[in-house]
Amino acid sequence: MNQEKKNLWSWLVYDFGNSFFITALSGLFLAQWLIIDNKLDDIWYGASFAIATVFVLITSPFLGAWSDKLGNRMFFIKWTTIGLVIFNGLMAFVAVSNISLTHRVFIVLFLSMIVQYLYQINLIFYNALLKNVSTEKNRGKISGLGEGIGSFGWLVAVLVLLPFANGVITLFNNPGRSQVFLPAFIISTILMLPLVLWFKEKKDIQAEDKEVVNNKKISQKTWQGIKELFRKNKNVGIYLLGFSLISDIVITINLYFAVVMDSIYKISDNMKSVFLGITLISTTIFAYFFGKLGDRYGYRVIILLTCLVLIIVDLLFFLASSQWVLYLVTIVGGAGVGGYYSVTKAMMVKISPPEQLGEYFGFYSTFQKFASIIAPLIWGGVVLLLKYDNVLKYRVAGLVMVVLLIIGTIVIMKTKEEKPAVQPIHI
């Protein structure tokens, strides 16, 4: 196998592998263990993601600019991967330990917050590697393939982890959802190794950047990039603003979808897993399909199409109560999510200054999580205010999310799909 194929396959396997620990932290397992099993208010779960997001906002543009200065993404991927292995491992062993339940719940919540932070930072550099594993002609297709493989990883993770959550397999101490974190940690660690060991990055570093990197220059470059985002590169700034609002809804609903199905639809964990599986299969198939459509017809129009799909699907999800509606919601919703994320990354590569790609994917990560400081807290606040009506609280919280989704779609309509002029930043 030549190096280009090694790069592509290790890049894809990495996304497949980290799906296991992200699945464990999702609404199906961690949220239900905290909120349903241990009666923790929704707002605690949302707040942990919000706090992690604050740190992502503070550090991601700086780290992205630093990687541009070094011309090296793999340096950061290796260190964040080491951090993920350490804190995933700690979380997994604490969850099944003999520590008192109250302390265990909050320690796991705290460790999951660190894992979320490291994962989001890791994504900056992982996404920026898209340029290394694709060309302008196939970027949407490769992005869609990556999104599809990641979604397939979620599906496999659910199938693997469900027997642990249901008590069929117990590794240590008491059976239940706390058992999922250890197998998720082990499988993710093994599957993330090929990228760390095999990937050979083509360094993209300019002559002026070969000088010794120092914090002052990186900070100057970061602040200059932020100012230029809404001046010279205003189109990217508007795009990221709309992207963040839409992505926030997807992330927030993913955090709470299992809890919502438990309250509104009254279904078992096995059926929740079935519907999640349908969503992931649809996401896997349509991520690649929409990516190819984006290459052919343009990324912006496909993004707007997926946004319309998400608006309709989310309205149905929160207003309906029949389990039969869930089949439609999960199939069409999975297609919308898969298409949205496969095409938005390709669009970002196209409209960003090529010499600042790492920095701009830092902005991409920042904006992706920016609204997530607010939305999980809004969700938690609504649910807390209406806590005595177990169905109404989730319907209202969901409709608030849909309003933000509509606003984000309107903002993206104002963006243009065009390559920026190449204007290196001199500092």
Can you give the CATH number for the domain in which 160 is found? Answer: 1.20.1250.20
Q: Tell me the three state secondary structure of residue 163.
A: helix
210 by Cβ neighbours in 10 Å (0-12 / 13-18 / 19+) ranks as: exposed
Task: Name the DSSP letter for residue 176.
Answer: S
417 in a structural domain: no
Gyration radius (Cα) of the chain, Å: 21
Q: Which residue has the tokens 């603003």?
A: 241
pLDDT values of the chain reduced to their tens digit, one per residue, 427 residues: 677 778 788 888 888 888 888 888 876 788 888 888 888 777 787 778 778 877 877 777 677 667 767 767 788 888 999 999 999 999 999 888 888 878 888 898 999 899 988 988 888 788 777 777 777 777 667 877 777 787 788 788 888 888 888 878 878 878 788 889 999 999 999 999 888 888 877 765 443 444 444 555 655 665 666 666 666 777 888 888 888 788 878 878 877 888 888 888 888 877 887 887 888 788 877 877 887 888 888 888 888 999 999 999 999 999 888 888 888 888 998 888 888 887 887 888 777 777 666 667 667 766 665 556 677 778 878 888 887 887 888 899 889 888 888 988 998 888 887 766 555 444 4
| Domain span including residue 117 | 3-197+227-412
Phi-psi category of residue 380: left, alpha or beta, with phi > 0 → left and psi -120 to 50 → alpha: alpha
22 in a structural domain: yes
358 in a structural domain: yes
pTM above 0.85, yes or no: no
357 in a structural domain: yes
268 in a structural domain: yes
Distant-in-sequence, close-in-space partners of 303: CB < 8 Å, separation ≥ 6:
294, 340, 343, 344, 347, 412
312 in a structural domain: yes
Task: Name the DSSP letter for residue 36.
Answer: I
93 by Cβ neighbours in 10 Å (0-12 / 13-18 / 19+) ranks as: middle
d(CA 259, CA 252): 12
How many structural domains is the chain composed of? 1
Across the chain, which distance is largest between two alpha carbons, in Å? 63
340 in a structural domain: yes
Q: How many residues does the chain have?
A: 427
Ranges of beta strands (E only) in 303-397 are: none
329 in a structural domain: yes
- Can you read off the two tokens belonging to residue 20? 């296991």
